[in-house]
A and B are shown apart, each in its own frame.
Chain A
């Protein structure tokens, strides 16, 4: 028995080592840009341009310049950018959810003509990259007088995330037994009450996941904001940090310090929903 077992365990060990090696590789490849970003953000300007190959600098900063993180606030209206990003991401999340929840409810719980076509249409709208639609969007926003406004960006981000919201929430709702809402209607609820008081609280994990996902998407949006917003004080963080990418020189240390600052909320939100996201996607995908 032992003779049979031994080769299997060796094989297992090799497989495990290989697995760890692959995981480590993936981690290094994924995390290195962030590591480089952090290191650069903490360097002096002269140190950034000193050659590592010639031994005049290292990857890690020699003089750790924490002041870079303070300087960015005075060199650009970072607080304003931050507020704009919060307004855009928050506003579009609210609108996408307000439109998405009733739509997903109708698609999950009611039968109507053209339902399949409608669902297909919704998913097709998700397939266009924003860049393809830029000119059209610019024209529409121009006609509505929303080219250089935060409200315009809120609408666009809400629209871009609508398909995702509808599909994910529809899956979540379909995974919840309709008998609960029927019980609520017998207990004395109207249809809307049964949705608000029973379905939505039960679907809360899926809703929170969707909500944070939209927020992150809108927070990270760059292309449309860059094209639509020209007033400096209306820019979101993603566009605003380009201030450090000047005509004459690029201030890498500030650019990276601002970038790190911009990704912190996203990382925190991701950490919050990591578990929910997996279960949310799984429960949404399979009809329970």
Chain B
């Protein structure tokens, strides 16, 4: 139970001597990622500002190398903070040892102590705090009960399956009743089925223990299902902070719109026009007037008519019966998923994915479309996402 304040947090990895030599020779070090490189070194995280409320579940999500794990490790104290301030419950924690931060962490690799039994693993942090033996026993058994690992307490980690090991790792973290529970991709090493199961377990666990969670993942499903708020990161920068619904409905930029949502959002080169005080988007022969909410947002930001990238989620594309004010596309592949069909189509050279229910409201079966068939696509004015040339959402 704690509040966290991360103020302008920055992480710079200094150049190694080899890199410095290479830089002297070539003038510029080799760039392996899009991270910013300065004279001081590679900037892994910068301008990270986030206030986390008590008992909040925050998910840091982003592609590999975006700085999410680095941020978590800075909160844990495993990485030095190069700049900015970290407060836990109002106390500055930048130079406090990990053991004195009252945090617990679950690692992707479980990081269990292989020479200790499950019981000893879970009791280890409590023993180090010189807790009373009976209290240790009570806490370990209670945590084991919550995580359903009571029958494995005498076993060594090597005699457990991946899922059981991860439960032990979580158990070791929760016995301490820490202020903040950090989880670094805890489900990445598990197979798909177990991952779904453990995800549900974490949601249940959260209801049972009162603490603040920071959870790192690259899996958007985990981010959407677990987080109270999601922090989406790329190249060391925060792209957007918001509730799962907010980031899904109102992505701040092209990156967020593409990262959140499966399958990925469809993009079209379009024009934003203003006709008689009403904003509309025009893609080829299709023109759609935007919803009132969007009209209001665009007017408030005094957005000028311009060339834009229009984003529409696959599930928001609608099949029109007749051609007219529509986009035409030819189906490349049709995937029947049971209750819905995914059409991968080609609209004037652009790949478009359309998700439609197998049966429409009139009882017509839509899965009767096949590869090579023509689709007439349309969308309504409230599901358009408008991105300017710089990739930013024009409504923001």
Q: Is the CB of A202 within 8 A of B113?
A: yes
- Among listed A19-27, A58-66, A175-183, A221-229, interface-contacting one: A175-183
The contact sample of 30 A-B pairs, CB cut-off 8 A, is A177-B109, A177-B111, A179-B107, A179-B111, A180-B111, A180-B112, A182-B76, A182-B98, A182-B107, A183-B105, A183-B111, A183-B113, A184-B113, A184-B124, A185-B77, A185-B98, A185-B99, A186-B78, A186-B103, A186-B104, A186-B105, A187-B99, A187-B125, A188-B129, A189-B99, A189-B128, A190-B99, A193-B128, A201-B113, A202-B114
Q: Is B115 an interface residue (CB 8 A)?
A: yes
Q: Is A113 an interface residue (CB 8 A)?
A: yes
The complex places the Cα of A177 from the Cα of B129 at a distance, in Å, of 24
**A153-200 with Cβ < 8 A to chain B:** 177, 179-180, 182-190, 193, 198
Residues of A within 8 A of B76 (CB): 182, 186
The complex places the Cα of A190 from the Cα of B115 at a distance, in Å, of 19
The complex places the Cα of A186 from the Cα of B114 at a distance, in Å, of 17
Residues of B within 8 A of A182 (CB): 76, 78, 98, 105, 107, 111
Beyond A185-B98, A186-B103, A202-B115, 12 extra complex contacts between A and B, CB < 8 Å: A179-B109, A179-B111, A180-B112, A183-B113, A183-B172, A184-B124, A185-B78, A185-B97, A187-B99, A187-B172, A193-B128, A201-B113
Give the interface residue-count category, chain A: 10 to 19
Q: Is the CB of A188 within 8 A of B128?
A: yes
Q: Is the CB of A180 within 8 A of B113?
A: yes
10 shortest interchain CB distances as A-B pairs: A188-B128, A187-B125, A183-B111, A179-B111, A201-B115, A188-B99, A186-B98, A185-B98, A179-B107, A180-B111
Whole-angstrom distance between the Cβ of A266 and the nearest chain B Cβ: 29
The complex places the Cα of A185 from the Cα of B176 at a distance, in Å, of 14
Give the interface residue-count category, chain B: 20 to 34
Residues of A within 8 A of B115 (CB): 201-202, 204
Which A-chain residue is minimally distant from B169 (CB atoms)?
A183
A-B contact count (CB 8 A): 59
Residues of B within 8 A of A201 (CB): 113, 115
Q: Is the CB of A188 within 8 A of B78?
A: no
Which B-chain residue is minimally distant from A203 (CB atoms)?
B115
Whole-angstrom distance between the Cβ of A276 and the nearest chain B Cβ: 15
**A195-248 with Cβ < 8 A to chain B:** 198, 201-202, 204
**B143-159 with Cβ < 8 A to chain A:** none
The complex places the Cα of A180 from the Cα of B77 at a distance, in Å, of 15
Whole-angstrom distance between the Cβ of B40 and the nearest chain A Cβ: 16
The complex places the Cα of A177 from the Cα of B107 at a distance, in Å, of 11
Whole-angstrom distance between the Cβ of A103 and the nearest chain B Cβ: 21
Whole-angstrom distance between the Cβ of A119 and the nearest chain B Cβ: 15
Q: Is B207 an interface residue (CB 8 A)?
A: no
The complex places the Cα of A180 from the Cα of B116 at a distance, in Å, of 12
Residues of A within 8 A of B17 (CB): 113
Residues of B within 8 A of A177 (CB): 109, 111
Residues of A within 8 A of B176 (CB): 187
The complex places the Cα of A113 from the Cα of B113 at a distance, in Å, of 31
Residues of B within 8 A of A193 (CB): 128
